[in-house]
Amino acid sequence: MTPAAGARPLNDASSEPASVPGALLTRVRRAIGEAGGWLPFDRFMAMALYEPGLGYYANATPKFGAMPQGADGQGSDFVTAPELSPLFGHTLARQVAQAMQATGVNEVWEFGAGTGALARQVLDALDALGTPPARYTIVDLSGSLRARQQATLATHAGRVHWADRLPPRFEGIVLGNEVLDAMPVQLIVRLGGVWHERGVALAGDGAALVWADRPTALRPPLEIEGGHDYLTEVHPQAEAFIRTLAEHWTRGAGFFIDYGFPEAEYYHPQRHMGTLVAHRAHQVDDEVLERPGEKDITAHVNFTGVALAAQDAGLDVIGYTSQGRFLINLGLVELAQGADPRERSRMQMLVLEHEMGELFKVIALAPPASAGGWTPIGFAQGDRTHRL
Ligand SMILES: C[S@@+](CC[C@H](N)C(=O)[O-])C[C@H]1O[C@@H](n2cnc3c(N)ncnc32)[C@H](O)[C@@H]1O
């Protein structure tokens, strides 16, 4: 998905109340009450996306698809790279094959597998390359997607497993496409020179959700030049996820693909509206408090934060570049030869700068035992690790 920048005024902490029916809203209201009238935004986002049975990724709505209205009459909200074109996973599989060989592992672990499309593409291509992995394990916070993944992966059933948590020690090639952006963020806003944490409260009548700010000791990782009002996000959960990964992971290499920037761009003084947005029916908006559970909510990834969290936890950063450069290094263009015109135009969306090619980045991490003596093909040219 390719979200746009939000357009909400920074000082609208008492903005128009969102009127939203539904069981999840009732739970959010209760949580606000139990928290003393104010819920930090990351807690709201966690409920809106993952509240069991009700959150956006925990309920049964279709979500993923190329069109707002599918052939079955059911709508989708956004399209991701593997949903757009199988060439995405077929190309990534070349990287997986090289990494398996270089690090001596024979397993893949995918986090946040969505419909299972990427898993199927990677497994199909690894089989065709003559490098089938012994196991492919999916870890997803969303239990409701598991049935869909099982159906997508029926032809690979014997090798695909699901895990609710990481084992004490594991090895393998780690994949995560658009997972880090789905992890709850904290919102912070500088108003009149004073930093506040932005959270969620109830409107005067107790019915609707409104923004509410409280002074905070939280700060962005970089000082923001200028005294202007400034809204942004910090990403403790994504960074904690990387640290947890590091604690359990002994061998292999990992590739996380998502939209985002290094911190100098993320916290640029001009990016004063942050990156938080909602997605519904292929529309992007900044009404993230509206219709909780019915919209995806997402923020861009601070790749410098990911890299520092990885390094602090003992992992090595072995590559960072744009999605376009990564896929081209891996031979996407050559793989697309012979594809029909529709497939070729979708392939172009993956790499063109004004589509997904530049906004999306790939970061590669590895435990120290697997980091030296090889260069992942995806970063052979145009590696930007030095810009993190
Ligand atoms: C935007 S979807 C991307 C799905 C898929 N990778 C794709 O590209 O189509 C984000 C997925 O990440 C999952 N997710 C979020 N946080 C996670 C975590 N900490 N561990 C595993 N999965 C997570 C969500 O449940 C959801 O399935």
Q: List, as own/partner pairs, every contact residues 339-347 make where C-beta atoms lie below 8 angstroms and the sequence separation is at least 24, other chains included.
A: 339/87, 343/85, 343/87, 346/84, 346/85, 346/87, 347/85, 347/87
Query: What residue owns the CA closest to ligand 1's atom 12?
Result: 112
What local confidence, expressed as pLDDT, does residue 6 receive?
A: 34
pLDDT at 238: 98
Using the mean position of ligand 1's atoms as its centre, give its distance from the Cα of residue 330 in Å.
24
CA 111–ligand 1 middle distance (angstroms): 6
Give the closest residue to 360 by CA, choosing from 43, 68, 149, 82. 82
What local confidence, expressed as pLDDT, does residue 8 receive? Answer: 42
- What percentage of the chain has pLDDT greater than the value 90? 84
Q: How far apart are CA 99 and CA 310, in angstroms?
A: 18
DSSP assignment letter at 75: B
Tens of pLDDT along 191-214?
999 999 999 999 988 789 999 999
The mean pLDDT value for 247-258 works out to: 98
Query: Which residue owns the Cα nearest ligand 1 atom 23?
Result: 112
- List pLDDT tens digits, range 217-228: 999 999 999 999
- Least confident interval from 47-61, 98-112, 250-264, 367-381: 47-61
Distance 109 CA to ligand 1 centre (A): 13
Report, as an integer, the average pLDDT of 228-244. 98
Q: Give dist(CA 385, CA 388) in Å, integer.
A: 6
Pocket of ligand 1 (CB under 6 A): 57, 64, 80, 82-83, 111-114, 118, 139-142, 145, 177-179, 182-183, 241
Confidence of residue 1 (pLDDT cuts 50, 70, 90): low
Is the pLDDT score of 64 beyond 80?
A: no
Predicted pLDDT at 187: 98
Query: Residue 61 — very low, low, confident or very high, per pLDDT cuts 50/70/90?
Result: confident
User: Which pLDDT belongs to residue 303?
Assistant: 98
Report d(CA 156, CA 122) in Å as an integer. 11
Local structure of 239: helix, strand or coil: helix
Give tens-digit pLDDT for 118-152: 999 999 999 999 999 999 999 998 888 888 999 99
| Strand-pair partners of 298 | 277
Euclidean distance between CA atoms 223 and 214, whole angstroms: 19
Burial letters 108-147, b for 16+ CB under 10 A, else e:
bbbbbbbbbbbbbbbbbbbeeeebebeebbbbbbbebbee
What are the pLDDT digits (tens) for 265-280? 999 999 999 999 999 9
Mean pLDDT of 88-117: 97
Whose C-alpha lies nearest to ligand 1, atom 13? 112
Q: How far is the CA of 179 from the centre of ligand 1 (A)?
A: 4
The partner residues of 109 in beta bridges, in order of sequence, read: 137, 174
pLDDT band at 59 (very low <50, low <70, confident <90, very high): confident
Which of 64, 83, 140 to probe ligand 1 with, by most ligand atoms within 8 A of CB? 140
User: Which of 49, 179, 235 to mutate for ligand 1's pocket (most ligand atoms within 8 Å of CB)?
Assistant: 179
Could you list the beta-strand ranges (E) of the chain: 39-40, 107-111, 135-139, 160-162, 170-171, 173-177, 186-191, 194-202, 209-215, 230-234, 249-251, 254-261, 277-280, 283-285, 296-298, 301-302, 316-322, 360-366
How much distance in Å is there from the Cα of 244 to the middle of ligand 1?
16
Question: How confident is the model at residue 20, as a pLDDT?
Answer: 38
User: Residues 59-66: what's their mean pLDDT?
Assistant: 77
Q: Determine the distance separating the centroid of ligand 1 and the alpha carbon of 57, expressed in angstroms.
A: 8
The answer to whether residue 13 scores a pLDDT higher than 50 is: no
For 320-346, what is each residue's pLDDT tens digit? 999 999 999 999 999 999 899 999 999
Residue type at position 182? A
Instruction: Choose among 174, 270, 277: nearest CA to 228.
Output: 270
Ligand 1 atom nearest to CA at 296: 1
Task: Tell me what the pLDDT averaged over the chain comes to.
Answer: 92
State residue 2's pLDDT score. 39
Q: Given this model, what pLDDT does residue 19 score?
A: 37
The CA 182 to ligand 1 mean position distance, Å, reads: 6
**Which two structure tokens, joined as six digits, stand for 92?**
């990534």
Which atom of ligand 1 is nearest to 237's Cα?
19
